[in-house]
Amino acid sequence: MAKKFPTRKPNKPKACPRPYTLGKRKESSDEARRRCIVAAATLLEDSDTPTLKMETVAAQAGVTRQTIYNLFGSKTELIEAVFDDLARTGGMQSMAAAMQQSDPEARLSAMVTTLAQFWTATRTATRHIRAMAATDPDLRAAIQSRDQRRKMACQHVVRGFGSALAPTTDPFLHVDLVWTLTSFEFFDMLAGDIRTPLWLSETVLQLARAALGLKADPNKHA
């Protein structure tokens, strides 16, 4: 008589996570990420904060230190997220349109205007962030990265003027001059306590045009 072997019942397929459960998790993750960015930004703006520590950010955001690393991967990425948020609230999204201007004069003007508005909107935070960077290598690296992006924008602007630029034997001079004139440090000192973004943008634009050796602006009327 043939021996009977027990038959195995087929495994029931595991139910997939319900869509609303996944949505809830993402919503919770997004909220935690947002709290971390706000907490870090608040600490960076506070002149009483000597350095940005992940433990302090975690406590301020109401999460664990590990949660921050799970969400951002590193302190540098958290700082980049804060900088992205400052750029968004400070109006730096206008820079893309500025760089797409076909006329070099309009491109220069739009870049200077965008930066004047951004430096004014984020002045307190930027001043403290740059002071903290002296002792924080992660912060310093993030700032240097942003400054290099601005230098690339200056290169694009200067290149558009071609032969209209003043002759020079230094191939980097024109870009370095515009890069300096559009830096936060220059804007901060020039702004003082009373000068407006409009005045700043008009003045820096005049200085930039003079530094590049451009002829009188054809759109300016006496």
Do 33 and 120 lie in a common domain? Answer: no
Do 49 and 118 lie in a common domain? Answer: no
Do 108 and 199 lie in a common domain? Answer: yes
**CA distance readout (Å), 128 to 51, 123, 151, 155, 187:** 10, 9, 22, 28, 15
pLDDT given at position 178 = 98
Do 137 and 67 lie in a common domain? Answer: no
Sign of CA dihedral 199, 214, 146, 110: positive
pTM above 0.95, yes or no: no
pLDDT given at position 47 = 82
Tens-digit pLDDT string for the chain (222 aa): 555 555 666 666 565 556 555 555 566 789 999 999 999 999 998 888 888 999 999 999 999 999 999 999 999 999 999 999 999 999 999 999 999 999 999 999 999 999 999 999 999 999 999 999 999 999 999 999 999 999 999 999 999 999 999 999 999 999 999 999 999 999 999 999 999 999 999 999 999 999 999 986 655 544
Report how many domains make up the chain. Answer: 2
- Give the closest residue to 41 by CA, choosing from 163, 129, 131: 129
The amino acid that residue 168 corresponds to is: T
C-alpha span between 113 and 94 (Å, rounded):
9
Do 68 and 96 lie in a common domain? Answer: no
Long-range pairs of 105-109 with CB within 8 A, sequence gap ≥ 24: 105/217, 105/218, 105/219, 107/156, 107/157, 107/160, 108/157, 108/160, 108/178, 108/205, 108/208, 108/209, 109/201, 109/205
Do 96 and 164 lie in a common domain? Answer: yes
Instruction: Classify residue 6: in a domain, yes or no.
Output: no
The amino acid that residue 19 corresponds to is: P
